[in-house]
Structure 1
Amino acid sequence: MTTIEDRKREMPEHSYTTKLFRGGVPKIGSKVAEEAAEVIEAAGEPGEDGRQHTIREAADVLYHLFVLLAHRDIQLEEVEAELARREGISGLDEKAARQQTSDS
């Protein structure tokens, strides 16, 4: 994410990452959603070609997600810490706990 953070700080002209940052959450979020749909589609393709296509599309999803995190000044380590916090907790239990908190 260092390169992405450098782009955010420097905002060089003719940079796709700069264009995303300037578009804010609406632009970046739209790209995350678009790329997520594309990786799902690629994952359904058979054989090695489908596997390679899935890898390329997954890289696109991760890149755009990293840009979104950088836009919000969220470090990858913070996301990793949240995943570690959830380790060993049933996904259904974790979701129920979040719903109880939001209902309060």
Structure 2
Amino acid sequence: MTTKSGKHTLDKLFATIAARKGADPKSSYTAKLYSSGRTKIAQKVGEEAVELAIAAVLEDRDEIVAESADLIYHVMVLWANAGIDPTEIYDTLAAREGQSGLDEKKARKNI
């Protein structure tokens, strides 16, 4: 979804997440995650992925939406913590466009 400013909602979210790196952990959940370190951030990504999978198995559409949003947020915190810009992910996805998923997986195993 693109906002009135022309910036994609996910890009705006990432900018907010990145801006919170130096914030006070007492005033920002994102800053608290950063201060907890990458292991804790990765743990949260895993937790959210499991919660999303459970929602999917339960066929709970509203929870799938909510848990997907939570997972995307935590993945973006991980990217920011690792110094990864979303454009790197977008470029990787674009490079895979038009390629069979099975072929792409085979190619990765050979690297």
Find runs of 4+ consecutive structure 1 residues off by over 4 angstroms: none
1:24 is matched with which residue: 37, 47, 59? 37
Show CA shifts across 1:19-70 (max 9, x none): 2112222100000000000001111224xxx111111111110010000000
| SS of alignment partner, residue 4 of structure 1 | helix
Gaps of 5+ in 2: 1-13
1:11: Cα distance to partner? 2.2
- Measured in 2, the distance between the counterparts of 1:100 and 1:82 equals 17
Larger RCO (CA within 8 A; separation ≥ 6):
1
- Measured in 1, the distance between the counterparts of 2:17 and 2:36 equals 15
Structure-1-length-normalised TM-score: 0.86
| SS of alignment partner, residue 89 of structure 1 | coil
Match of 1:67 in 2: 77
Match of 1:43 in 2: 56
Structure-2-length-normalised TM-score: 0.81
1:75: Cα distance to partner? 1.1
| SS of alignment partner, residue 29 of structure 1 | helix
Match of 2:65 in 1: 55
Match of 1:82 in 2: 92
Aligned length: 97
Letter in 1 for 2:74: H
